[in-house]
Amino acid sequence: MVNNIQFKNLNIEQKKIDLFIKRANNKFLNVFWVILAILLVLSFILLFTFKSLIDTKILIICLILIVISLFIVSIILNYIRTCFLIKKANQFKPQIWTKIKPTNLALHWDLWWGLNVFNLKHPKQKLDKIERKKIIDFFKQIHWI
């Protein structure tokens, strides 16, 4: 049943797909963003641990900065996950959901943010609305198999 649905049949330029695969293969940056997210969560925990030692205004400013940083890092991690999904879907025998399937909402959220970050990062190779919809629908179809 999976063989009937092929990522290559979506008629998306190979240049765009190659950009996703290139990003997924950059292990150093992928590990960097994960470590940065872990460090931000730890700093958030430490800030609450030592909140009695810190002035209230400084605490609020630090919390706002950490939350904004965590939001940005989570968006970048969604982009990285989208790159990994497209890389796996582009393989000869795609096994996209090897262990745990994400929920439909989580899948849609990751893909939406990931594809929008791709459009921001690569303005000359933008995915139009039709291509984005094809990709999201492809992964939704695969999700239920």
Q: Over the stretch 10-62, which tens digit does the pLDDT of each residue have?
A: 888 888 888 898 999 999 989 999 999 999 999 989 888 888 888 889 889 98
Say what the alpha-carbon torsion angle 27, 78, 88, 135 is, to the nearest 10 degrees.
Answer: -140
Closest by CA position to 85, among listed 20, 26, 11, 19: 20
Instruction: Please tell me the predicted confidence (pLDDT) of residue 91.
Output: 77
C-alpha to C-alpha distance for 116 and 82, rounded to whole angstroms: 10
Tens-place pLDDT, residues 91-144: 766 666 666 677 778 888 888 999 999 999 998 888 888 888 888 888 888 765
